[in-house]
Structure 1
């Protein structure tokens, strides 16, 4: 049996929070939405609270902070230029995969 996957949208503004809630479908893993777009990188461990997936709009995730995020396995970055916000190779060395949205910003 597969473990329940928890996700947290770490830095949603109100518009993104509403859209995320609207897109939720039955059977989707539960995603908690942190409606504070102004979190600081050092807030990640508390905001994630053991979640396996962080959905990130714009808040940097330094490697030293990621090390403190128990359980974190995936970061879904909702923008372009993820390298400006995190180091994917260093995160991979910690067992954290960075995922981008294919085609984001193409239009």
Structure 2
């Protein structure tokens, strides 16, 4: 493949290859995802908002697009999405700050 683009929407079409080459793993993942989003006590709309925030911390553009679309269909608003993204950003930044103690400890050990 000569294209240097890491993420293209069309690349998702290749997930079929995973299903062909590793059908048991693919099926178990799909079952797991179905259970996570379709059972439990948290309403689906809230689960999708959580997924949007997590997708921003993991950096998955495919997940962001898919979960934003699902959230919008469930009546979610842009303001709610952006607020969830800022919460995710705060936690990501907080993790970097709190992990700074590891750098301090490592420096002092050496």
Structure holding more helix per residue: 2
TM-score range, shorter chain: under 0.3
What TM-score do the two structures reach when normalised by structure 2? 0.24
Per the normalisation by structure 1, the TM-score is 0.25
